[in-house]
Amino acid sequence: MLRFADYFFFKHTSLGLYCKRQDNYKFAKIFFISGLFFLLYNNSHAQTIDMHQFYLAKGNSLSKSASSEQIMIMQKILTLYTFNETFTVETNIVYELISESKETNYLVGTMPLLKWGFDLIQRRFVLFGGIGVNYISSDNIVGRNLGGNFIFSDLIGIGINLYRFYDYEIDLSYVFKHISNAGFYKDNEGFNSHYLMISLKL
């Protein structure tokens, strides 16, 4: 997702082409990502505090060279946009623990999510994805060199509604997550993981 954003920005916008010629990728990426958040926030019609949804996920690394056990917690804090209860843009606070054989590292940050709900075979499904900004306690996790502590995370997933009663809902989702520094540091090996996640809406 972040790579697609890079491609679009550098290939199809005048500012991106200028930054590429000047070899100033860091400035370009800061400008582009900040602009996305700004547009989402200022074009929303339903900026409301909404802390009634909670996510809990258990996962592990997709690396073949080393293994990890991971826990991710997300708390929804703000609904930025809603359209016919089908498309939703929300902002979450995320906290993640990544445990390997010798140490445990933590990640904290924000995770805006774009969610699309649809009905199929008499069940409610949801597709979701987002790009977050994070701080991680170590720049080397599960043998992967992230280059620094300031990183980005891409998340994409699909979920199914297990229970719904009025405003109470329980969803079960599969999530793929990638973290990297998007070229802000010299080293950028990145780290991939996947999760099984339960969502509780109260």
Is the per-residue pLDDT at 155 higher than 90?
yes
Rounded Cα distance, 17 and 38, in Å: 21
Written out in words, the top-level CATH class of the domain with range 46-201 is: mainly beta
* 166, pLDDT greater than 50: yes
pLDDT band at 44; cut points 50, 70, 90:
very low
The H-or-E segment that residue 193 falls in is: strand 191-201
What are the residue ranges spanned by the domains of the chain? 1-43, 46-201
Q: Is residue 29 very low, low, confident or very high in pLDDT (cuts 50, 70, 90)?
A: low
Strands (E), 9-149: 48-49, 53-61, 69-83, 87-99, 104-120, 123-136, 140-141, 144-145
Say if residue 10's pLDDT is above 50: no
pLDDT at 14 over 60: no
**Residue 149, pLDDT score:** 93
pTM given for the model: 0.76
Percentages (nearest 5) of helix, strand, coil residues in the chain: 20, 55, 25
